Amino acid sequence: MSGSLEAYMSIIRSIFLLSALSGAQALPEPLLAADAGNGSGWIRLFNGRNLEGFDTFLKTKGLNNDPEKVFQVQDGMLHISGAEYGYVITRKEYEKYHLRAEFKWGEGTFAPRAGRARDSGILFHVVGPNDVWPKSIEYQMIEGRTGEIILVGDGTSITVGGVTVTRGKDKGTHIARYNQGPWQDVAGYRDPKMEYENPHGEWNVMELFADGDTIKFVVNDKVANKGIGANPARGKILFQCEGAEVWFRNMELRPLSKK
């Protein structure tokens, strides 16, 4: 009887050992630091420590040459001085995603937009060589009109409200956001009809849904624009420096499932 019991216990121990080994093999591999998420499917584009995963580009200095520190990481945020036209741009291309980023305006405005409405933007589906500005679609950020669609570069196109607009062929390649009121190009301007931004100095949440050739802009939980037939429909993502001091943080995206 003792021999049978010992054999039985040996079998049980073997089963537990096999189970443990199987479980260990099923554990996922660690995420690479550059692609680390927050545990809910979101991928951090900006790690809050440095510009890993990005290049910088300035109109007069070119690629990754920023002696005046137009772009700086401070306290987990990206500070953009506004002193020269340019951008930070992802090294990777993306498609079919939900992008989320927070921004707030600083105080400074600079030539050629000194004293004018603070201006920046998120350009996405960026293709082709670096330039000011590269071929892309812009999610406009400007005081009083944040949420516009701007087509950048000849051949870019979008259909909004049943009307297709192509840059280089049609006039009016700035597509107003919903509920757009009158506008003046002066610093601090706020839309008297319906302002989508929070008061100056407060954080705003920008969301972009880029689902194939369909796009949707959401500013502070309010839908600001929609379009279909976007061309291009994939590419890099950049954050603009366009004459105004601006801060960004929590720049992240999550892939959208393929249909």
> Is residue 58 scored above 80 in pLDDT?
yes
> Which residues does 145 contact at the CB level (< 8 Å), separation at least 6?
117, 176, 177, 180, 183, 191
What is the model's pLDDT at position 257?
Answer: 84
- Checking if the pLDDT of 37 tops 60, the result is no
Measured between alpha carbons, how far is 194 from 5 in angstroms, rounded to an integer?
80
If pLDDT is split at 50, 70 and 90, which confidence band does 172 have? Answer: confident
Q: How far apart are CA 242 and CA 139, in angstroms?
A: 13
pLDDT in the model for residue 30? 29
Q: Which residue has the higher pLDDT, 33 or 132?
A: 132
- Predicted pLDDT of residue 91: 98
Q: Partners of 142 in the beta sheet?
A: 119
CA distance 178 to 198: 16
Please state the rounded mean pLDDT for residues 166-171.
85
Q: What is the pLDDT of residue 39?
A: 52
Q: How would you classify the pairing of strands 236-241 and 119-127?
A: antiparallel
Measure the N-to-C terminal CA separation of the chain; round to a whole number of Å: 62
pLDDT class of 109 with cuts at 50, 70, 90: very high
DSSP readout, the chain? -HHHHHHHHHHHHHHHHHHHHHHHHHSPPPPPGGG-B-SSS-EES--SSS-TTEEEEETTTEET--TT-SEEEETTEEEE--SSSEEEEESS-B-SEEEEEEEEEEEEE-TTSTTSPPEEEEEEEEESS--SS-EEEEEEEETTTTT-EEEESTT-EEEETTEEEEBTTBS--EEPPTT------STT---SS---SPSTTS-EEEEEEEETTEEEEEETTEEEEEEEEEES-SBEEEEEESSEEEEEEEEEEEEPPP-
Q: Name the more confident of 139 and 38.
A: 139
pLDDT of 56 above 80: yes
The percent of residues above 70 in pLDDT, for the chain, comes to: 84
In this predicted structure, what is the pLDDT of residue 169? 81
Task: Of 153, 136, 145, give the one whose Cα is nearest residue 181.
Answer: 145
Report whether pLDDT(63) > 60. yes
% of the chain beyond a pLDDT of 90: 81
Asked whether residue 200 carries a pLDDT value surpassing 70, the answer given is: yes
d(Cα 259, Cα 242) in Å, to the nearest integer?
37
Query: What is the domain partition of the chain in residue ranges?
Result: 33-255
Residue 31 has pLDDT above 70, yes or no: no
Q: How would residue 21 be classed by pLDDT, with cut points 50, 70 and 90?
A: very low
What span, in angstroms and rounded, lies between the C-alpha atoms of 161 and 181? 18
Dig out the tokens for 16 from the structure: 């537990």
**Can you give the pLDDT at residue 25?**
31
- Using alpha carbons, list the distances in angstroms from residue 27 to 13, 16, 24, 43: 22, 17, 6, 20
φ and ψ at residue 130, rounded to 5 degrees: -65, 140
Class of domain 33-255: mainly beta
Segment 222-244 mean pLDDT: 98
pLDDT recorded at residue 140: 98
Lowest mean pLDDT among 2-6, 67-71, 129-133: 2-6
**132-155 residue pLDDT tens:** 999 999 999 999 999 999 999 999
